Amino acid sequence: MTSDWDHATGALDIATLHGLFADSALTPEAVINAVYDRIAARGDDNVWIHLIDREASIARARALMADPTARDLPLYGIPFGIKDNVDLEGVPSTAAVRAWSRMPARTSPLVQTLLDAGAIPIGKQNQDQLGMGVVGVRTDYGIPSCVFDDRYISGGSTSGGGVSVGAGLVSFAVANDAAGSGRVPAALNNIVGYKPTPGLVPRAGTSQAGMVGTENFLTLTMADSVLLTNMVYRHDPSDPFSKPGAAGFRVTTDPAPASFRFAIPDAATLDTDGDAEAAQLFAANVDRLRALGGTAVEIDMTPYLTAARMLYDGPFIAQRYANFGDRFDADETALCPATREILSWGRKYTARDVFKAQYVVAGYKQQIRQLFRDVDLLVTPTSPTTYTIAALLADNIALNAKMGTYTNFVNLLDLPAASVPAGFRSDGIALGTMLIGPSLGDDLVCRVGAALHDALGIAPGLAGAPLPDGTA
């Protein structure tokens, strides 16, 4: 076997690995050994809550290699990580709450689909507790940091997943996204986070089942996101939020339309929290979209920013309390202080409050439907900026809310979205741009997202980090 694929830094995107496997230039066993060596080289980076034993993963790889039919599997030999609120039989699930650890009786159907397709799980990954946060600092298992600067947050709640993909430890990570948990880590680690329209992917086998949001993947490329997500769209009548239209639903990375219209925040509602370079990166991606054939239309984002605040700062937090309240009431001290405080807000709302909030959100849904009659996409920064871990620990709740400025409303309004890289600030920190489509408008989000990522021309994850002189 000969290959110029580097054991320490070789790309792990699915197309690259499958090309090397097909040419017999690389084997799944070699990839798995490389993955574990990379994990060891990074040391204690707080990515993994439970790392599967190397020999067990090598055994999976060898079993695939010994099966002559396995070569045709769509995820043959592909290593991946799993957010710790998604179940893998035989491996504990904690949702980053040590006291709530449990041993799942069965694997999540989504994860089982990946296993059946030939993917190899490497372990369960760190997250903000109970998926409540988009910063990655609310956990019992140490704080993962941005792959480009360990002073900065990784983004959350799929914090371990974002770092693992960005650092080249796995090809993709299983995530889920309610407030931006599968988009913010993508932005801060220079990778892709496509979040489907809620209801297209069943939620059985996760602690998020029944809550606003959807399962998704963190990937190196939009092509990988499309491949993976097409495998897990399905209508599941046992899931009360599953959409019948999920049966047969597909997305593509076909070329973007020759012309399209996209909305962007006007000057009054473009929030980068004083980060001039974040504003410049967003403007540069807007210009790339124009070069791809897009026409930008400025809009007042106030209704959607108001809806974003309602996800946590209002009666919708009662949905979280409905899911976790019994265990929380039994022992509040099991949770981190910020998680504990936010979850406690769910106690104070009445059914009347919730219904009134639902009426308000229904009105915002009507407004955004009207918007999408005039434009094809809504484009915003994924997050206004980013912050150091120290800043988040000093002002956790307020800065977490700021990070969710543009992401929090998307699931509430039943929309798909994707975060794609926007490039780097002069200090080497990555940020992202988010494309939002109308409900079930996922294909256009993915097509334009893929074109925008290609137009940026920067390798994903650590491979795209600027050189010391600031060049890519």
- Report yes or no on 470 lying in a domain: no
Q: Residue 1's pLDDT is what? A: 47
In a domain, 469, yes or no: no
Separation CA 131–CA 85 (nearest Å): 8
Query: In a 3-state reduction of DSSP, which class is residue 276?
Result: helix
Amino acid (1-letter code) at residue 247: A
Asked if residue 165 belongs to a domain, the reply is yes
Positions marked catalytic = 83, 157, 181
pLDDT at 208: 63
- Looking at 183-223, which runs of residues are DSSP E strands? 192-195, 214-219
Is residue 7 in some structural domain?
A: no
Determine the structural domain holding residue 278 and report its residue range: 14-464
Q: Quick check: 310 pLDDT over 90?
A: no
pLDDT at site 460:
98
Mean pLDDT to the nearest integer, 230-256? 95
High-pLDDT (> 90) share of the chain, % = 89
Counting the structural domains of the chain, the total is 1
Average predicted confidence (pLDDT) for the chain: 95
Q: What is the pTM of this model?
A: 0.96
Question: Would you state the pLDDT for residue 378?
Answer: 98
9 part of a folded domain? no
Whole-number pLDDT of residue 33: 98
Tens digits of per-residue pLDDT, 411-455?
999 999 999 999 999 999 999 999 999 999 999 999 999 999 999
Sequence-distant (6+) residues with CB within 8 A of 14 are: 75, 78, 171, 172, 223, 224, 227
pLDDT at 211: 67
- Name the percent of the chain lying above pLDDT 70: 97
- Is the bond preceding 439 in cis, omega lying within 30 degrees of 0? no
- Lowest-confidence segment of 284-293, 355-364, 375-384, 450-459 by average pLDDT: 355-364
Ramachandran class of 43: left when φ > 0, alpha when ψ lies in -120 to 50, beta otherwise: left
Asked whether residue 26 carries a pLDDT value surpassing 60, the answer given is yes
Whether the Cβ atoms of residue 80 and residue 171 lie closer than 8 Å to each other = yes
**In the prediction, which pLDDT does 313 show?**
82
Q: Are 8 and 38 in contact (CB under 8 A)?
A: yes
Residue 210 pLDDT more than 60? no
pLDDT band for 311, please (50, 70, 90 cuts): confident
1 belongs to a structural domain: no
Where residue 231 sits, what CATH number does that domain have? 3.90.1300.10
- Tell me the mean pLDDT in the region 187-193: 98
CA distance 431 to 372: 26
**pLDDT tens, position by position, 394-411:** 999 999 999 999 999 999
Question: What's the confidence (pLDDT) of residue 209?
Answer: 58
* Rounded distance between C-alpha atoms, residue 245 and residue 351, angstroms: 30
Q: Examine residue 8 and state whether it is found in any structural domain, yes or no.
A: no
Given its phi and psi angles, is residue 248 left (phi above 0), alpha (psi -120 to 50 degrees) or beta?
left
Q: Which residue has the tokens 């999408």?
A: 372
Calpha distance 266→300 (Å, rounded): 6
pLDDT one-digit tens code per residue, 37-50: 999 999 999 999 99
Cα 177 to Cα 436: distance, rounded to the nearest angstrom: 14
Alpha-helical (H) ranges within 240-350 are 276-291, 302-310, 317-330, 337-344
Euclidean distance between CA atoms 196 and 82, whole angstroms: 18
Distance of CA 394 to the CA centre of its chain: 25
Helix axes 396-403, 337-344, angle to 10 degrees: 70
pLDDT at residue 187 in the model:
98
Residue 206's pLDDT is what? 75
Within-domain flag for 233: yes
Residue 124, pLDDT > 80, answer yes
Of the candidates 302, 456, 449, the residue with the CA atom closest to the CA atom of residue 376: 449
Query: What's the pLDDT at 3?
Result: 73
